[in-house]
Structure 1
Amino acid sequence: MFRADVWVVLDDVQFNARDYQHRARLAAPGDPESQRWLTLPVHRPRGRDSRIDELTLADPHGTHRTVSRLVRQYYGRCTHWGGTAGIVDEVLTALALNERLAVVAEVSVRAMLVRLGWRGAVVRSSDLPSRDGRSERLADLTAAVGAGTYLCGRGGAKYLSEHPFLERGLRVRYPPPPPLSHERGLRTASALWAFAERGAEGVRDALAVECVPAR
């Protein structure tokens, strides 16, 4: 994301309860491999066919209490809790004011991006035209925002086909994961660990990526 000029929030695809779309792993400060799930219970109006942007929180008040308690329990004594608490407060405010999972998830990422100095643009896939196929959809979204290159993570590379991109004259790049992800246990942990342990400046240094204005 830090190498990108545009972040397209993929909010109009089918919800996957086994993924990270409504949950995250909290890693213990002293032992990042010691992790537990923090899950937001959700209501799926159309069952398994529900899209991410259709989901609502099943218990907003209970979720608010759980998020506040667990995150403080894990990171409240960390050196950089003061700055991290601001991120958490923005998420708690979103939980209090909005019952849509997609909104809360976007707020959480935006709060971190702002503190890292990222100046890119954020758009939602539900506001853009695209086809249904996995790679076709991503190629269409890349073109819709006026980009010439799609940046693909390691996970997406397993199923991505470059053909729809080449048809549109688009490039696909596979940048390596950030250095932090190579540390013990951090491939699966919430980014809150890094903010609480190292602070926003420390995270920027660890990512070793210069944040530039969107092009």
Structure 2
Amino acid sequence: MCAIHQPNLFPRLSTLAKLFAADRWIVLADVQFARRDFQHRARMASLDDPGRQQWLTLPTHLPHGHPTLISQARLVDPCRSRRTVELLVRQYYGRSRHWGAVRDVLDAVLDTLDTSECVAGVAKTSTIALLTALGWSGDVLDSSEIPTRQSRSEHLADLAAATGSTHYLCGPGGLRYLDVGPFDAHGIPVLPFRTPVDTHDPLWQWSRRISSLWALSKIGPGALANRLAARRGARFLEAWA
């Protein structure tokens, strides 16, 4: 089971849940950078009131202008970005009783900011650190290292096939544009992955808006891993429902 997704900075829980449900994450960094997306920014949410939110944004330079790929985007000021990340994450989640787990994720990102100007690398590190905190033991591969065709759906299908994946796990956004034909040609079923829409459960109520750092801080890595494992178990039951 593979998920193919762009590197996101401290990804939302809806994204993290999809990656957690997969056996393999193929990092899609050889596509165009989008300033309104989540490669270089994340919404921090108040521990006690997740409706109170603030953007954490890494100022980003696009050396080739609008066509710049995610893998080509560079931090404008890595030292300033490091200070901002550390300050905001500590400000929002430093008093959590699960701060130890959050700090491990933060430290991994700060270490990367010390050595790299690559936005994709920082975002990828933040996601891997979160998955690691939850005990995920899947594979992580880079799409740029795998030869594929260029059209969007063929590109994804070729990535899945080249990595020996037997199924492709696709979120609601991808399902809106995906052509399953190239996947059918490879004999790879496309399975939809959806997070619950539950306004009575803050964990899922805000899952498509705020960073999963909030959920990690609120209920801790063990409880969060259990909740995501439950979604992983339900992925087949809800397929095409």
TM range (shorter): over 0.9
Number of the residue aligned with 1:61: 79
CA distance in 1, matches of 2:189, 2:77: 43
**Alpha-carbon offset, residue 186 of structure 1:** 3.0
1:2 to 14, 20, 23: 20
> Percent same amino acid among aligned pairs?
46
Matches within 5 A, 1:12-91: 12-91=30-109
2:148 to 120, 130, 141: 130
The alignment covers a number of residue pairs equal to 212
Q: Is the 8 A contact 2:195 2:231 kept in 1?
A: no
Q: Is the 8 A contact 2:170 2:193 kept in 1?
A: yes
In structure 2, relative to structure 1, the CA distance for the partners of 1:172 and 1:181 (3 Å cut) is farther
CA distance in 2, matches of 1:126, 1:70: 32
Number of the residue aligned with 1:102: 120
In structure 2, relative to structure 1, the CA distance for the partners of 1:173 and 1:91 (3 Å cut) is same
Number of the residue aligned with 1:195: 216
Q: Is the 8 A contact 2:203 2:215 kept in 1?
A: no
Provide the secondary structure at the position in 1 that maps to 2:21: coil
CA distance in 1, matches of 2:138, 2:231: 12
2:226 to 197, 205, 208: 205
Q: CA RMSD in A?
A: 1.9
Provide the secondary structure at the position in 2 that maps to 1:14: coil
Number of the residue aligned with 2:236: none
Provide the secondary structure at the position in 2 that maps to 1:37: strand
Provide the secondary structure at the position in 1 that maps to 2:85: helix
Number of the residue aligned with 2:10: none
Number of the residue aligned with 2:135: 117
Number of the residue aligned with 2:5: none
TM-score by length of 1: 0.93
CA distance in 1, matches of 2:205, 2:171: 19
CA distance in 1, matches of 2:88, 2:33: 25
In structure 2, relative to structure 1, the CA distance for the partners of 1:14 and 1:181 (3 Å cut) is farther
- Structure 1 residues 84-136: Cα deviation after superposition (integer angstroms, max 9, x where no partner): 11110110110011111111111111111112111111000000011221111
Select between 120-129 and 160-169 the one with higher mean Cα deviation.
160-169
Unaligned runs of 5+ in 2: 1-18, 233-241
TM-score by length of 2: 0.83
**Alpha-carbon offset, residue 62 of structure 1:** 0.6
Q: Is the 8 A contact 2:166 2:188 kept in 1?
A: yes
Say yes or no: does 1:158 pair with 2:176.
yes
Provide the secondary structure at the position in 2 that maps to 1:7: strand
AA aligned opposite 2:173: G
